[in-house]
Chains A and B, each alone.
Chain A
């Protein structure tokens, strides 16, 4: 398997623009996570899905952020409108959870977002 695939790897945009980050989890995994990493705050969970259903979105900063998982092989994280403080590396990870027990995490390479 190719692992967790994220795109784009780098995105530079201007404040106010819409940003869409994409993630393809490992085939067969049933849990998908979106994380954000900044120098100030480290790694933070934004949202995670089990079987394509959002379970916990309490980490989503505000209404400008939204995430979807229309099927088991694809998820998006959208920021609209973007702001400079959204600049960070956004990681997607997937795992295979069984009987409510979490599985090993596999991370994508990350999407580095810069909002000017």
Chain B
């Protein structure tokens, strides 16, 4: 069974701080997604990655396939970054098909002005 663990569960930081959210998983995967959800809002996909590193604006996502670990970084954090960040993985079945996603519990991030 695929387990997805995120840390920390809750994070409060000051505006401008560098933020790191971690995600570990237990099985081989075809892809890992980082999702963002604002309070009462919908879900937005930030990144999908299967190796290496991706950058979009102030957001950076990295993945280490051997260690089964990914990190999401936010540089120069801002109050509008306050949201729940969710890690989700798609397991790779032996037949080569893709699973439909297993989610972490999410990291509640609050950036104070």
User: Could you list which residues of chain A lie within 8 angstroms of chain B, going by C-beta atoms?
Assistant: 33, 35, 42-45, 47-48, 55-56, 59, 91, 93, 97, 100-110
Contact = CB atoms under 8 A, between A and B. Distances in A.
A43 B100 contact: no
B28 to A, nearest CB: 14
Interface stretch (B13-21, B42-50, B60-68, B70-78): B42-50
A97 B96 CA distance: 13
Contacts of A104: 45, 48
B45 A105 contact: yes
A55 B43 contact: no
B33 A105 contact: yes
Instruction: Give the interface centre of A91, A102, A107 by most chain B CB atoms within 10 Å.
Output: A102
Interface of B: 30-31, 33, 35, 42-45, 48, 86, 88, 90, 96-106
Contacts, number: 58
A54 B101 CA distance: 15
The binding surface of chain B is classed by DSSP as strand
A102 B44 CA distance: 16
The binding surface of chain A is classed by DSSP as strand
7 contacts: A42-B86, A42-B103, A43-B103, A100-B98, A101-B98, A102-B31, A102-B98
A102 B42 contact: no
A35 B102 CA distance: 11
Contacts of A48: 100
A42 B97 contact: no
Contact of A55 (B31, B48, B97): B97
Nearest to B50: A101
B39 to A, nearest CB: 12
Nearest to B103: A43
A103 B33 CA distance: 10
Given A42-B106, A91-B43, A110-B42, A100 B100 contact: no
